[in-house]
Structure 1
Amino acid sequence: MDLLDGNFQVHGFASLTLVNTSDNNFFGQSDDQVSNNFSEVGLNASWRLTPGLQLSAEVLSHRAGGTDDGGVRLDYGLVDWTALSSEEGRGGIRVGRIKTAYGLYNTTRDVPFTRPSIILPQSIYFERTRNLTVSADGADIYVERYGEAGTLSASFAYGQPQTDTDAALVALVGLNRPGHLDSRLAPDLQVMYEGSGGMYRLAVTATRLDLRYKPGLGDRLQAGRFKLTPLILSAQYNAETWSLTSEYAFRRTSVTDFGPFFYNGTADGRSYYLQGTYRLAPQWEALVRYDAYYADNDDRNGKAFAAATRQPGFTRFAKDWSVGLRFDVTPQFMLRVEAHRVDGTGFLAVQDNPDAQALRRYWDNVMLQGSFRF
């Protein structure tokens, strides 16, 4: 909806996804039953006060099994000032709660119509730790340069990640911990090149999270520290009727000072996916994807982790074959169906699967989603 000659815009979306798994739970109690605990409702607005100054915000309700209860919160809210603008490029700064530039999809991941599938590749875009990387409170400086060879853009953000939810705490230290997480300001750098009118997209993303655990009363854990430093390489080719996308992440994780009752150590993780989409007809699109995640590249099968913790080794990796189909019933209403065959449980949330010994290494996942936008 456009108002004030298009300077004020309001848009929204809503989606509901049904999930069924053969084993394990994903987005709620889905093991041999149907879970409807994955839904998204959002309302966003933007107001261009002057040609170089814009206000933007979105409120979001995101329900995702035990990791998110669907409470309404500010997803982003910012002031965007374009300080320099010409035919050759532009540059400016965003201040407020800013979306984190993280791979190709993170800045628009909450809008179902902008995703290539019901869920993004979990090797790169974890749902169980979504709030840590989706947005931050701070500032983002950006520049774009236009030329005959394409568009080169760069952004550098510095902000406070969202650590005030139980989802981030549980994903890192487990259930029923009395302490809480604090974070230092996190830097985020992304450089992207787009050529031939968007036919080619190449990007590099580097970020760093420095999280501190503050023990609570009677806590078995000591004041520990997490350092997470992912580096993501992204590439996409868009033809008239098909697209090919791949991203590869180097993930260095350092866990220190938690004491003898926690798994301390350093790991160099790897994750990647290869994804193809094909437009069968104007309203139909098919998808196939292979997605792989390894928490420790030197212990891919998790045997060393299992020996040290007595937890299943397959919780340290996940290899996911996916196929999907999208049908745009109208420009405002979309249906999707998606099937996954997964080896490993590395991206499952402990909130939905509190007993690691009850997990099964091989499992299937089928999802059906309906989405509406205005």
Structure 2
Amino acid sequence: MQKLFKSSHNAAGALLVALGLCQATPVIASETWHWHGFVAQGLMRSADSNFVNNDGAISAELTEFGLNSTWKLSNTVRLAGQLMYLDGGNRFQQGGRIDYLFLNWTAINDMDWQLDLYAGRYKNNHWLYSATRDVAITRPLIVLPQSVYFDAFRDIAVGSDGLAVTSTHNLNFGELELNWSLGATPIPKEQSQRVISTFINGKTEQDFVHQFSVFLRPAQSKSQWGISLLDSDFNYRRVANDIFADGDFTVQRVMANWRYSEQDWELSSEVFQERVSVYGFYAPGTERTQFGWGAYLLGSYNLSAQSTLYLSHDHFFANKDDKRGYLLPQQSGGLIPAYFGYQRDTALGLSHNIQPNLRLKMEYHWNTGTGRLGPNVVPDTVVNRSRHHELWAVQLMYWF
């Protein structure tokens, strides 16, 4: 399975550059080829955590630049992809990446049923914002609720190399959408250090990620309901003089979501339970399983045609049977404080369109707990010494 889903970055990158991939209002377009682009730059600060950097200074590492394109090969086949550059401080690995690059075949397209098949680095269509979080202008917030959209895991969650199927049915009771995918994502060493531990030297690989989701949009309703399932395995292989052992990780998630839309306001929510099992890694023969839980509620209100107000509350527990993290100091010999077992975040944001293709976003986050600061397998207890930490961010974004 692992070999099947490994990709050739050089070949894919050359193809994306040749296509000139982009996102937004088309600059150059024909009947067969459309390309778009966007750039976003901002400032952010989190003085009492390592979310942005380790010294708490104001940072300009809030840069996003993307090019994406769609090339219509026939009436039923298209090639699509996106080349992205990110600089997000401790949140992401700095540099370019291919968010997606896939062939899409529309096998069926009639009045009541559409069936699409994807091969390559497909997009994750299983969560409410998983398919739109990669573009600054399509995210409701600069920093999405971290319980679900954990930034250190961004490149693994945006897309995978493999196969995906989407089927949309118009039925008497409403529209039913089914999504299935199977693939894997390459994990560079720097990214695994952001997720697992800054002290690892070995190699981390995703063996596979298998996902299935269902979305129901009832007829004559302003709501959408959905449920998604995820099953994924990872492995870690140590090197000489490594302080960690070989290890295997299993992540399984069940998530329900809901969205309600009115003309001037919208509410959305996702709630999940996640099983995380670790075999080895800390020491040979170690086995540990715990069930995490998370949920958020996000609301938006259009103050005017140009301005939108956002408010969200996000809650995460690393262990649903130890919501206050009291077991962490006991299990770690006092090295890991209890507040690493949870995180609550309340955020207030404002978005304003200065011009039709120029937008300014501002937001402030009040956090309690550090359970969603990376790395989260072996947490950073040196920098993250405060149970309370705040974050502000401002970003100017332009699309073309």
Q: TM-score range by the shorter chain?
A: over 0.9
Task: Find the partner of 1:145 among 154, 159, 169.
Answer: 169
Equivalent residue number for residue 19 of structure 2: none
Q: Which amino acid aligns with 2:344?
A: K
Q: Number of paired residues? A: 371
Tell me what 1:111 maps to. 135
Tell me how far 1:55 sits from its aligned partner. Answer: 0.6
The question of whether the paired residues in 2 share the 8 Å contact of 1:49 and 1:55 is answered with: yes
SS in 2 for 1:324: strand
Stretches of structure 1 that go unaligned for 5 or more consecutive residues are none
Is structure 2 residue 230 aligned with structure 1 residue 207? yes
TM-score using structure 1 length: 0.93
Cα pair 1:139 1:157 within 8 Å, conserved: yes
Distance in 2 (alpha carbons) for counterparts of 1:132 and 1:223: 21
**2:400 corresponds to 1:371:** no
* Structure-2 change in CA distance of 1:263 and 1:346 (3 Å): farther
Question: Is structure 2 residue 382 aligned with structure 1 residue 356?
Answer: yes
Aligned equivalents of 1:261, 1:22: Cα separation in 2: 38
Q: 1:167 aligns with which of 188, 191, 197?
A: 191
For residue 257 of structure 1, what is the amino acid of its counterpart? Answer: G
Instruction: State the alpha-carbon separation in 2 of the partners of residues 263 and 329 from structure 1.
Output: 55
CA distance in 2, matches of 1:6, 1:194: 31
- Cα drift, residue 17 of structure 1: 2.5
- Tell me which moved more, 35-44 or 155-164: 155-164
CA-based RMSD of the aligned residues comes to 2.1
- Report the Cα distance in structure 2 between the residues aligned to 1:305 and 1:74, rounded to whole angstroms: 37
- 1:12 maps onto 2:37 in alignment: yes
Q: Which residue, out of 131, 136, 145, partners 1:121?
A: 145
Which of 308, 332, 335 pairs up with 2:331? Answer: 308
Q: Counterparts of 1:358 and 1:203 in 2: how far apart (Å)?
A: 35
Greater share of strand residues, 1 or 2? 1
Cα distance in 1 between the residues matched to 2:172 and 2:382? 54
Q: CA deviation at 1:97?
A: 0.5
- In the alignment, structure 1 residue 339 sits paired with structure 2 residue 364: yes
SS at match of 1:184: strand
Gaps of 5+ in 2: 1-25
Greater shift in the superposed pair: 312-321 or 64-73: 64-73
The whole-number CA distance in structure 2 between the counterparts of 1:364 and 1:220 is: 33
Secondary structure of the residue that 1:166 maps to in structure 2?
helix
1:162 shift after superposition: 2.9
For the pair 1:80 / 2:94, whether they are aligned, the reply is: no
- Answer yes or no: is the 8 Å Cα contact 1:123–1:293 preserved in 2: yes
Report the 3-state secondary structure (helix = DSSP H, G, I; strand = E; otherwise coil) of the residue aligned with 1:208.
Answer: strand
Give yes or no for contact 2:126–2:228 (8 Å, CA) kept in 1.
yes
Aligned partners of 2:163 and 2:289: how far apart in 1? Answer: 30
The separation in 2 between residues aligned to 1:71 and 1:357, in whole angstroms, is 24
Task: For 1:316, give the aligned amino acid.
Answer: G
- Displacement of 1:30 in angstroms is 6.2
What is the identity, as a one-letter code, of the residue corresponding to 2:261?
N
Residues 1:281 and 2:307 aligned together:
no
For residue 63 of structure 1, the aligned residue among 87, 93, 111 is: 87
Q: Is the 8 A contact 1:135 1:162 kept in 2?
A: no
How far apart, CA to CA, are the structure 1 residues paired with 2:318 and 2:370? 11
SS at match of 1:306: helix
Task: Find the aligned partners of 1:357 and 1:371 in 2 and give their Cα distance.
Answer: 31
1:121–1:4 distance in 2 versus 1, CA, 3 Å: closer
Distance (whole Å) between structure 1 residues aligned to residue 372 and residue 320 of structure 2: 16
CA distance in 2, matches of 1:170, 1:39: 18
Contact 1:131–1:162 (CA under 8 A) maintained in structure 2? no
Match of 1:92 in 2: 116
Q: 2:347 aligns with which of 322, 338, 354?
A: 322
Q: Distance in 1 between matches of 2:88 and 2:360?
A: 19
Q: Structure 2: how far apart are the matches of 1:47 and 1:358?
A: 46
Superposition map of 1:125-136 within 5 A: 125-136=149-160
8 Å Cα contact 2:208-2:234 kept in structure 1: no
